Structure 1
Amino acid sequence: MPRSARAAARRVNDSAVLEIGARVGLGASGLVHLILAWLALQLAFGSGGQNADQTGALRQLAGTTLGQGLLWIAAGGFALLAVWQVTEALVRRGKDRLPPAARALVHAALAFVSLSVLLGSSGGGSQQARSLSARLMDRTVGVVTVGAVGLVILAVGAVQVWRAAQGSFRKQLRPDPPPWVVQLARIGLATRGLAIAAIGGLFLLAAVQHDPQKTGGLDTALHSLLGLPAGQVVVAAIAAGMACYGGYALARMRYGEF
C-alpha cells in the first residue's frame, strides 16, 4: 500500500469521531451478547421462544420503542466499528491485517442485520445458513464448498480459543487492565470460540451427509448440544460464557486501546 494511503488511514483511525463510534459499537456488541446469553439460558431450561442467535437477540432488543431506538444506535455503532477495523487493517502489514479485516466483516454484518431487523426483513441465522447451503449443494462443487466453509468457521472458532489461552487479546486493552476484565475476556472468548466451532461442525456434517438441513447458526448448534448427555448443563455454561463476553465488550468501552 502507498505510504500516503496508509497515512490517510491512520488519520481516520485516530479520529475522535471514529473512536467514539467504535466504543458505541463495542457497547452494542456487549448488549447483544448479554441478550444472547439470556436467550441461550432460556433454551437450556426449556422456555426459549426467540432464536438463540444474534438475530434473535436483535429482535428481542427491537421489541420495545426504547429498544428500537437503541438498535438504531447499535446499527450505527456496528458500522463505525467496522470502519475502524478496516482502517486498522490498512495501517498494518502482512498477516497482521487479517484479524481486523475479519472483525470488520463481522461488525459490518451485524450492522446489516440490525437494519434488517429494524426494517422487518431479516430471517434467522440458521434459516439463512440452510438456504445458502441448499443453493450451494445444487452446484457440482457445492458439497466441497460447504465443507470448506465449515473448515473456515471451525478455524475461526479455534483462533478465538487460542487467543483466550494465549492472552493475545491484551493488545486490545490499555496497559494493566483490572484482573476481572482479563478473566471476562478469557472465559468469553473461549466460549464464543467453542460456539463458533460448533457451527463449523454443523457445516462439515452437512457436507459429509449431503444434507443442507444439517447446517445452521448458533441457534441450531445450541439445539444440537441440548441433545448430548448433560446437554442442558453445556448450553447453560455457554450462556454464562456469552454473558462474560458481553461483559468484556462493555468493559472495552472503558479499557480498550484505540
Structure 2
Amino acid sequence: MQLALSTWQEVERYLEHSTGIIIPIGSTEQHGPNGLIGTDAICPTRIAAGIAEQEQILIAPTINYGMSQHHMAFPGTVTLRPTTLIQVVIDVVTSLHRHGFTHFYFVNGHGGNIAPVTTAFSEIYADLQGDISHPVRCKLANWWRNDAITRLAKELYGDAEGYHATVSEVSLSYYAHPEAVKDMPIHPAIAPTGDIYTAADFRRQFPDGRMGSSPQLASIAAGEQFCNLAVDALTADYRHFLTC
C-alpha cells in the first residue's frame, strides 16, 4: 500500500489496524562507471515494494536525497547538509506522528545517512518523550547489513564486492530497472581502497567512483536474489519492531 497512491480516507482506515509505516531513504550520488546515480534510493524503494507485496503495510514516498558531500566531485551527485537531512527526517516523522503513526521504520540504502538519521531520531525522542499516551519508535534498517546478503555477496564475488558501487547494490538496482543496465569494460577489475575525507580527496583516490569493487560483475539475476533476501529479513524485522 503506497501512501502517495492512497486517499486520506484509506490512510485513516489503515490506522485503525496499524500505526506502523515504512519509509525508504537513500541518496542521489555517483556509483562508478556502470552504477546508476539513483542506486541508493532505488534499492530501498524496490525492497520496500517487495515487503508491501507480502504484507498490508503502508509505504511512504522515498526520501531520494541524502548526505553525499563526499561524492560532490562527480557530476550528477546531489547532497543535503547533515543538518538539512536531520530536519527532513524530523519533519516527516512528526507530521505522520500527528496523524497517529507511532512506529517509523526507515529502510536505508546509503551509509552516509546513518549518522544524520540516527541523530534525527534522538531529536525526535527529546521532543516527544513527554507524550506517554502516543509513543514514538524509530528504526534505521540498512538493507545490506544482513548476514544472508553478506554470505551471498562473498560467495558470488569474494573480495570484489567492495565498499562503494558494490556489486550487490548495482545488481539490485539493475533488477529494479533492467531497462537501465550499463554494459561497459571497467579497469582495473577491482578498484583500490583507502580512507577518504573530502570530495576532492575521493575523486583523486578513486577517479572512476568505485571503492574496492568490481560492479561489472553485476547481474539482474543476482539482484533478484539480493532483493528477495532483503525482503525476507526486513519483513521479519519490521514485524518484530511493531511489538516494541
Q: Identify which of structures 1 and 2 has the higher relative contact order when contacts are C-alpha pairs closer than 8 Å and 6+ apart.
A: 1
Give the TM-score, by structure 2 length. Answer: 0.27
Give the TM-score, by structure 1 length. Answer: 0.26
Considering fraction of residues, name the structure with more strand: 2
Considering fraction of residues, name the structure with more helix: 1
